[in-house]
Every structure is written in structure tokens, then in C-alpha cells.
């Protein structure tokens, strides 16, 4: 079994366990999903409606995580609005004890500050990690998990970063890339200099630890 932490489209492959992202305005048409308000898609007029839908969905057994949600300094939506929406979602994750899948762009310090202040006490995974070993270490030291996907396939230097991450603190994903999760596994196994079976066992264990599922 291969595990895909984060994708926006179901592969339909029975050998892949995948957490499919479904926004509040999307129907749930997959076995397992995450749901949240992405910073790109904040609609202040519909915020309460969307938060209400998220809270209902978080109580479903096949809703495995809140997300993706987070902060993005490269978009026009003001950061204070993003932070407010993010914090409201973290409080829901805390209330319902669901892990959080994070979209983070250029706002790692803010993320750490918010986590320390709100203390959601649930696993939090930075998806699509693309930064250097220094940023990775800072996030790991603050209790975050890291998920690798698109940039692992596109950026050779990221293999060196993945090689330094403790084996109980990372996941693999496809997000929106055309390649399948098997391609990401191959690249990750090469990066960590282990065989695919060992990698499968590692990711499977991490999934069961974080999602109480598998």
C-alpha cells in the first residue's frame, strides 16, 4: 500500500491510500478526505458558512484532517485576514482532535508563533515542502511534520534535505502534479538510500501514528 498525504484528485487506485483535499464548497465523493479553507480561497462573505461546513465534516470518521489551510505571503489577501481565518480553523482542529495539513508560503515564523500561542495539540504537516535543511530543522524542532512531493521531483537539492529528516516525521504526496505517488516513492527511496519496501513501512507507520488510520 502506498500512502498519499495530499492530492486534489482521486487516483481510483485500490493500492493507494490517499487523503483527497475537498474544499467546503466541494462535494465529498472520495473514501477519505481533508477539508479546510485555503488562503487563496478565503471568501469573507461566506466565511461563517464555510467554517460551519468544516466543523460538520470534521466529525465524520472519513475526514482525516483539517486542511489544507495556512498562510501565503505571496498573495493579495491581507495577512491579518489570513491569520484570523487560519486561527479559527486551528481551533476547530483542536476541538475535534484532527491533524492539520498546512499550505505555507514565506510565513514560517508566523506559523510557529501561532502554533505556540494556540497550542492545538494535534499533528501539523507542512505539505509540499520545498525549503532548505535549515528551515526543515526549524520546523521539525517545533514539532511539525514535513510532506514532500512536487519539489522533490523537480529540485535535486531537496533530496539532500529529505535525507536529513527523521524517519518518523515525513510524508509523501502528489498534490496537483501529473506523476503518480509511485514516482514520488521512487525518488524518496533514492534520496534516503533505502529500498521501496522499507520506505513503504516507514510511511505506513507515520500514517497510522498521525491519522490513527491505515
Contacts of 171 (CB under 8 A, 6+ apart): 3, 5, 125, 145, 146, 147, 148, 203, 206, 207, 210
The reported pTM is 0.96
Average pLDDT, the chain: 96
Of 188, 198, 195, 197, the residue nearest 165 (C-alpha) = 188
Contact 189, 182 (CB under 8 A): no
CATH number at residue 103: 3.20.20.140
Q: How is residue 52 annotated by DSSP?
A: H
Coil/strand/helix, residue 146:
strand
- Tens-place pLDDT, residues 160-198: 999 999 999 999 999 999 999 999 999 999 999 999 999
- Domain count of the fold of the chain: 1
Domain that holds residue 181: 2-211
Torsion of CA 63, 35, 17, 112, to 10 degrees: -110
Coil/strand/helix, residue 184:
helix
Average pLDDT over residues 24-33: 96
- Band (88; pLDDT cuts 50, 70, 90): very high
Written as nine digits, the cell of 23 is 474544499
- Band (95; pLDDT cuts 50, 70, 90): very high
Amino acid at each position: 500500500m502506498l500512502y498519499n498525504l495530499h492530492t486534489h484528485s482521486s487516483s481510483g487506485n485500490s493500492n493507494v491510500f490517499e487523503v483527497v483535499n475537498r474544499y467546503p464548497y466541494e462535494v465529498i465523493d472520495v473514501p477519505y478526505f481533508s477539508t479546510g479553507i485555503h488562503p487563496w480561497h478565503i471568501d469573507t462573505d461566506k466565511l461563517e458558512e464555510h467554517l460551519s461546513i468544516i466543523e460538520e465534516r470534521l466529525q465524520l470518521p472519513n475526514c482525516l484532517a483539517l486542511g489544507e489551510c495556512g498562510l501565503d505571503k505571496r498573495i493579495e489577501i491581507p495577512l491579518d485576514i489570513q491569520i484570523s481565518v487560519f486561527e479559527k480553523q486551528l481551533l476547530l482542529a483542536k476541538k475535534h482532535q484532527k491533524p492539520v495539513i498546512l499550505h505555507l508560503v514565506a510565513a514560517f515564523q508566523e506559523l510557529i508563533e501561532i502554533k505556540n500561542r494556540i497550542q492545538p495539540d494535534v499533528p501539523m504537516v507542512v505539505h509540499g515542502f520545498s525549503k532548505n535543511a535549515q528551515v526543515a530543522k526549524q520546523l521539525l524542532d517545533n514539532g511539525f511534520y514535513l510532506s514532500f512531493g512536487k519539489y522533490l521531483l523537480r529540485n535535486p537539492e531537496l533530496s539532500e534535505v529529505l535525507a536529513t529528516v527523521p524517519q518518523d516525521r515525513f510524508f509523501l504526496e502528489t498534490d496537483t502534479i501529473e506523476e503518480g505517488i509511485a514516482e514520488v516513492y521512487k525518488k524518496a527511496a533514492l534520496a534516503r538510500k533505502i529500498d521501496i519496501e522499507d520506505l513503504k513501512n516507514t510511511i505506513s507507520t507515520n500514517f497510522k501514528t498521525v491519522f490513527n488510520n491505515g
